[in-house]
Structure 1
Amino acid sequence: MEKHPSGIKPETWLVSAGRPTEPGAPLNVPPILASNFIIGGGREYARGSGTPTWEALEAIVGGLEGGKAVAFASGLAAVAAVFDQLPVGAVVVIPEDCYQGVASLSARGAERGRWSVQRVAVDDTRGWIHASAAADLIWLESPSNPLLVVADLEAILAAARKPGAIVAVDNTFATPLNQQPLDLGATVSVQSATKFIGGHSDLLAGVVTTRDDGLWHALRKSRELTGATPGTFEAFLAVRGARTLALRLQRAQQTAMILAERLEGHPLVARVRYPGLPSHPTHGIARRVLKGFGTMISFDLLGGAEFADAVCRKVRLIRHATSLGAVESTMERRAAVPGQEHLPPSLLRLSVGIEDPDDLWADLDSAIRSGAL
């Protein structure tokens, strides 16, 4: 693995890591479109040995997270590889508010007798500390999706836990620029590179990073045996996208704060969920554990599902689409997603992009006001 040079800031690492260094080599790692390699050089078949393109992505994210990374075909493939490490009969603890893929995967495993599942509120720090003593997998997500609750990772990750337990943090919303789970004591940090790492809504990829060498090898073996390998061109695009992560995140976070403050004062908005607002229930924790408040805003409209759906149809600059973390702003009503029906019916999740904040506000305000008619 490419080491993180002492004194190099993350913004510089994003640009410099994962590049060839040999004289005459290309400046960027190209997409290596090969499934097999000539025997004798240590690399024989891509599914088991990887490719230089995958390794460039792993070098960037691994160094950024402060560990060794394994790239996967998608964020959910990365999640599944972590769950794949569990013995039959394991105890799994996940947040009440979390990515629907994690909820579905854990529930399916429980139905088949693979493990038992407990759910704990993201902000129930005592509940997490208590559950950690007997859990085989503690799965944390902070900020959570889509309610944007921030967990007290410092306290939870410092708690005593069962020997051999895996403590995983889904770091997708925060990104490694805003949060360093491995430094706080997590076993693994998980990124859906589909989101902020790629940043352009044009790829599927996931990355798991750990400092446990044995677990790193086990994750690579899971990738090999399940065939959850990243596409070469997807890895190439993720590397290209990662180069601008710091700039994109800085701009989008600034805009998200502006929009959150304006939404909080809107007469047709009932509640704004953004960790950067002093009114947010876990704002104090967010100030302590996060370097930035992120680009995601969830807000509840003063109306029902039909009103929220109308707003989604009426936006023009903001795209009515799922997913997040890209250069373009997207928005959706999360309770319309299968498995998310328990959420407030008028809750909209907004992923803020890098557009001009005034243009985004004009679009959003107009859609809200016309949607109410």
Structure 2
Amino acid sequence: MEKRPSGIKPESWLVSAGRASEPGAPLNVPPIPASNFIIGREREYSRDDGTPTWEALEEVVGGLESGKAVAFASGMAAIAAVFDQLAAGAVVVLPDDCYQGVVGLAAAGAERQRWSVQRVAVDDTAGWIRACGVADLIWLESPSNPLLTVADLEAVCAAPRKPGAIVAVDNTFATPLNQQPLDFGATVSLQSATKFIGGHSDLLAGVATTKDDALWHALRKSRELTGATPGTLEAFLAVRGARTLALRLQRAQQTAMLLAERLEEHPLVTRVRYPGLPSHPTHAMAKRVLKGFGTIISFDLLGGAEIADRVCRNVRLIRHATSLGAVESTMERRAAIPGQGHLPPSLLRLSVGIEDADDLWVDLDSAIRSAAQ
């Protein structure tokens, strides 16, 4: 797996990595739908040894994250592989605001007495530092989903930790272009490539990246034993989508900032959560640890859940759909999802795409005003 040279910027790596270099080779690594290979070299069976298509995705994301990557069938498969490293009786610490898939996985393991689970507020840096001394898995998510709280990753990742403990950072919202958890000292960085890496709502994939060779081998072994392998077409599409990540992120972040500022002035919006706004509780931290503020906005509406649901039904350009990080803007009421009782009932999470900013504002403003009538 080729590493990103120190003189190559991430924007160039996105375009150049994961390609063959020998004369006569295809410019793009093709989808290789093969489960087995002719015996005689290092690659014999794809579940064990991977494929060139998977490896292209691993090279792209691993170089972005400054480590060695392992591709999985989904973001949750990558997450499950990290949890798979825990011994019986382990202590897991999760953020108070966290992706529900992780919360569900941790709860299921706790019910089977595989581990115990503690929760710490995302912005409670002192609490996280204390947890590092007792936890076997520190699970950080920053910015958090969906309240967009930014953690002091630098301090937490550098804190003394229990021997053998894993500090894992879900870096999906920030993307490797805005945040480098491994450089802060995290053990492993996770990407749901379904989101920003793929960028087109047409695949499921996940990637775990680490600088720890032993953990890298262990994650590959977990993928092999559980069969959590990425699909051939999905890996190909993720690589193709990643080529434009820098452009998509730049455009969507600019629009997100504009929409967040306008939403903050809207008479029917009671609160806007976006790390780029000075009013955001962790804005100062975001300026320190993030290179960009991202494309996700969460905001609360006057009138409660019913009004929020109407807004989701009223939008036309923005799609009423889950997930995020794609070229199209999507929005949903997160408290409608089971297990999200800590969220305000009227909170909407908006994933900003690459459409025209003014068109998105007209659609959003019209939907809000019509819902309130």
Shorter chain as denominator, the TM-score bin is: over 0.9
Report the CA distance between 1:340 and its aligned residue.
Answer: 1.2
Aligned pairs for 1:188-337 (under 5 A) are 188-337=188-337
For residues 68 and 155 of structure 1, what CA distance do their matches in structure 2 show? 23
Give the Cα–Cα distance (whole angstroms) in 1 for the partners of residues 299 and 5 of structure 2. Answer: 41
For 1:107 and 1:184, the matched residues in 2 are separated by 28
1:135 shift after superposition: 0.4
1:294 CA drift (Å):
0.1
How many angstroms apart in 2 are the aligned matches of 1:70 and 1:6?
21
Q: How far is the alpha carbon of 1:98 from its aligned partner?
A: 0.5
Equivalents in 1 of 2:229, 2:180: separation in Å? 25
Aligned-pair identity (%): 85
Match of 1:125 in 2: 125
Other-structure match for 1:80: 80
- Alpha-carbon distance between aligned partners in 1 of 2:27 and 2:295, rounded to the nearest angstrom: 31
CA separation in 1, counterparts of 2:303 and 2:328?
26
In the alignment, the residues of structure 2 paired with residue 7 and residue 265 of structure 1 have an alpha-carbon distance, to the nearest angstrom, of 43
Question: 1:181-226 deviations in whole A, cap 9, x for unaligned?
Answer: 0000000000000000000000000000000000000000000000
CA distance in 2, matches of 1:359, 1:223: 43
2:38 alignment counterpart:
38
Residue 136 (structure 1) aligns with: 136
State the distance in 2 between where 1:5 and 1:121 align. 37
Question: Partner letter of residue 204 of structure 1?
Answer: L
Q: 1:180, 1:6 → 2: CA distance?
A: 14
Measured after TM superposition, the shift of residue 6 of structure 1 is 2.2
Aligned to 2:21: 21
1:163 aligns with 2:180: no
Aligned counterparts of 1:302 and 1:155: Cα–Cα separation in 2: 37
**1:300 counterpart SS class:** strand
CA distance in 2, matches of 1:4, 1:61: 10
Stretches of structure 1 lacking an aligned partner (at least 5 in a row): none
Paired amino acid for 1:35: S
- Aligned partner letter, 2:157: L
Aligned residues: 373
Compute the displacement of 1:164 (Å): 0.6
Measure the CA separation in 1 of the matches of 2:41 and 2:240: 27
Please give the alpha-carbon distance, in whole angstroms, between the structure 2 residues aligned to 1:6 and 1:81.
Answer: 29
The CA deviation string for residues 234-269 of structure 1, in whole angstroms up to 9 with x for no partner, is: 000000000000000000000000000000000000
Separation (CA, whole Å) in 2 of partners of 1:20 and 1:216:
23
Task: Look up the match of 2:108.
Answer: 108
**Hey, what's the Cα distance between the residues in 1 that align with 2:306 and 2:332?**
13
The residue type equivalent to 1:254 in the other structure is: Q
Q: Secondary structure at the match of 1:279?
A: coil
Give the aligned residue type for 2:184.
L
Aligned partner letter, 1:202: D
SS in 2 for 1:21: coil
**Matched residue SS, 1:368:** helix
Deviation at 1:341, TM superposition (A): 3.0
Amino acid at match of 2:245: L
Q: Residue 92 of structure 1 aligns to a residue in which SS? A: strand
Instruction: Quote the Cα distance in structure 2 between the aligned partners of 1:163 and 1:342.
Output: 33
Rounded Cα–Cα distance in structure 1 between residues aligned with 2:144 and 2:303? 24
Deviations 1:313-365 (A, max 9, x none): 00000000000000000000000011113310000000000000000000000
TM-score by length of 1: 1.00
CA RMSD after TM alignment: 0.5
Name the amino acid aligned to 1:195. Answer: K
Which has the higher mean CA deviation after the structures are superposed, 155-164 or 309-318? 155-164
Counterpart amino acid of residue 5 in structure 1: P
Could you tell me how far apart the structure 1 residues matched to 2:186 and 2:154 are?
Answer: 10
How far apart, CA to CA, are the structure 2 residues paired with 1:304 and 1:4?
48
- Partners of 1:228 and 1:6 lie apart in 2 by 32
Letter in 1 for 2:306: E
Which amino acid is 1:99 matched to? Answer: Y
SS at match of 2:155: helix
Q: Which residue of 1 aligns with 2:148?
A: 148
- Structure 1 runs, 4 residues or longer, greater than 4 Å off: none
Amino acid at match of 1:251: R
2:350 alignment partner, SS class: strand
Q: Which amino acid aligns with 1:125?
A: T
Which whole-Å CA distance do the structure 2 matches of 1:112 and 1:338 have between them? Answer: 21
CA distance in 2, matches of 1:292, 1:4: 21
SS at match of 2:57: helix
Give the whole-Å Cα distance in 1 for the aligned partners of 2:113 and 2:359: 51
2:147 aligned partner, one-letter code:
L
Report the residue type matching 1:345 in the other structure. P
Q: CA deviation at 1:3?
A: 1.6
Quote the offset at 1:13 in angstroms. Answer: 0.2
Q: How big is each residue's C-alpha offset from its partner over 1:51-88, in whole Å with a ceiling of 9 and x where there is no partner?
A: 00000000000000000000000000000000000000
